[in-house]
């Protein structure tokens, strides 16, 4: 009599993601994994290690460095790439600004979130990438929820949510015309809690930003905002020191922190289970308009 082993919820998600990563390797000639040093892209790297070791990755790691990144995330990025021995390609938004291809925002909190799309599209063209793997999840934001796992972008890098391919069962269609690109999201079906529980079960290292630490902050739009060299403070700003952590890690000019004493994975998971705010509720770039994320994605954003 054959005994069947039932996969746990996390094992099912892991198996699906590994299958998607292998489909990318099978269907595309020049894929890349977009890596920022955040928890979702770190999880993707861990899944890729399981999918392709003992061989090398069939794609490089690619980071679009805005110049406003947290130093802790950049250091973690470099250390991880060196530890696993995989190729890391870094391209800089500052170069796009210097070349006159992108115009930097002015003001108190100048975000480079939107203009990094220029650098990304130039990088895709430079290396002729036909697929870019990203760590977006459907539970993050309503525009993300419209994406397919294989999301086709036209020759200008733009996305049309009304022109999505059907994905029946586990069949993914990566056929594209010359100049087109596919964004691939292997952890689309994961939730924030799934990611954290997987990180705990696999003992995956993370940047210290995700755990409670003391940091100088100011209040902006009722959220805890980190003080940095990229933010222009004025006399009305009251700088305080708070114990905080970050649920998501973007630019220092658009990512707010949360007050928290969670300094272990167990603490973070308990905190998320009782939280009434979304993960991206602390991303100020998403609050610029009702459809801020979708507008950026239509222009070629991650």
Write the pLDDT tens digit of every residue in 143-180.
777 788 999 888 877 878 777 888 888 899 888 888 88
pLDDT digits (tens, 9 = 90+) for 69-117: 999 999 999 999 999 999 999 999 999 999 999 888 887 777 888 889 9
pLDDT digits (tens, 9 = 90+) for 243-297: 999 998 888 888 889 999 999 999 999 999 988 777 655 555 555 555 555 565 5
Reported as a pLDDT band with limits 50, 70 and 90, residue 3 is low
* Residue 198 in this model has a pLDDT that exceeds 80: yes
What was the pLDDT predicted at 132? 96
Same-domain check for residues 162 and 282? no
Same-domain check for residues 150 and 46? yes
Cα 63 to Cα 123, 145, 164, 300: the distances in Å are 10, 23, 26, 15
In a domain, 3, yes or no: no
Same-domain check for residues 184 and 134? yes
Same-domain check for residues 120 and 235? no
Same-domain check for residues 276 and 295? no
In a domain, 2, yes or no: no
- Is the whole-model pTM more than 0.85? yes
What was the pLDDT predicted at 298? 56
Same-domain check for residues 155 and 90? yes
Question: Where in the sequence is the domain holding 237, given as residue range(s)?
Answer: 207-286
What's the CATH number where 146 sits? 3.40.50.620
Same-domain check for residues 281 and 294? no
Window from 39-53, 69-83, 123-137, 145-159 with minimum mean pLDDT: 145-159
Q: How far apart are CA 164 and CA 238, in angstroms?
A: 47
Q: How far apart are CA 262 and CA 99, in angstroms?
A: 43
What was the pLDDT predicted at 107? 73
What was the pLDDT predicted at 244? 94
In a domain, 42, yes or no: yes
Same-domain check for residues 192 and 236? no
What was the pLDDT predicted at 195? 97
Q: Which residue has the higher pLDDT, 17 or 298?
A: 17
What was the pLDDT predicted at 212? 96
Same-domain check for residues 263 and 118? no
Same-domain check for residues 57 and 109? yes
Same-domain check for residues 240 and 144? no
- Write out the H or E segment, with its range, that includes residue 76: helix 71-84
Residue pair 100/125 in contact by the 8 Å Cβ criterion = no
Start-to-end CA distance of the chain, whole Å, equals: 49
Q: What is the mean pLDDT of the chain?
A: 88
Same-domain check for residues 192 and 229? no
In a domain, 201, yes or no: no
Residue pair 85/53 in contact by the 8 Å Cβ criterion = no
Q: How many domains does the chain have?
A: 2
Q: Which residue has 């529980």 as its token pair?
A: 197
Q: Dihedral of the CA atoms 17, 160, 178, 122 (nearest 10)? A: -80
Burial of 166 (0-12, 13-18, 19+ CB in 10 A): exposed
């Amino acid at each position: 009599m054959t005994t069947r082993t039932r996969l746990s919820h996390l094992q099912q998600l892991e198996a699906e993601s590994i299958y998607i990563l292998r489909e990318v390797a099978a269907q595309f000639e020049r894929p890349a994994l977009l890596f920022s040093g955040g928890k979702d892209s770190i999880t993707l790297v861990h899944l890729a290690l399981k999918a392709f070791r003992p061989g090398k990755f069939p794609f490089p790691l690619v980071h679009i460095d805005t110049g406003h990144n947290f130093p802790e995330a950049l250091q973690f990025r470099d250390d991880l790439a060196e530890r696993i021995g995989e190729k890391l390609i870094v391209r800089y938004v500052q170069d796009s600004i210097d070349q006159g291809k992108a115009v930097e925002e002015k003001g108190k909190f100048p975000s480079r979130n939107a203009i990094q799309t220029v650098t990304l599209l130039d990088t895709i063209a430079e290396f002729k990438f036909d697929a870019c793997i990203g760590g977006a999840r459907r539970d993050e934001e309503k525009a993300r929820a419209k994406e397919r796992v294989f999301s086709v972008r036209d020759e200008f890098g733009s996305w049309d949510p009304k022109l999505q391919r059907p994905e029946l069962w586990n069949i993914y269609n990566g056929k594209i015309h010359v100049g087109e690109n596919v964004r691939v999201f292997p952890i689309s079906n994961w939730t924030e809690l799934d990611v954290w529980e997987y990180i705990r079960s696999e003992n995956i290292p993370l940047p210290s930003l995700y755990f409670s630490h003391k940091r100088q902050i100011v209040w902006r739009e009722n959220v805890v905002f980190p003080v940095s060299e990229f933010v222009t403070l004025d006399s009305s700003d009251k700088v305080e020191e708070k114990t905080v952590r970050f649920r998501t890690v973007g630019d220092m000019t658009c990512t707010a922190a949360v007050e928290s004493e969670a300094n272990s994975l167990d603490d973070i998971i308990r905190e998320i289970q009782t939280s009434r705010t979304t993960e991206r509720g602390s991303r100020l770039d998403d609050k610029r308009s009702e459809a801020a994320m979708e507008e950026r994605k239509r222009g070629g954003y991650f």
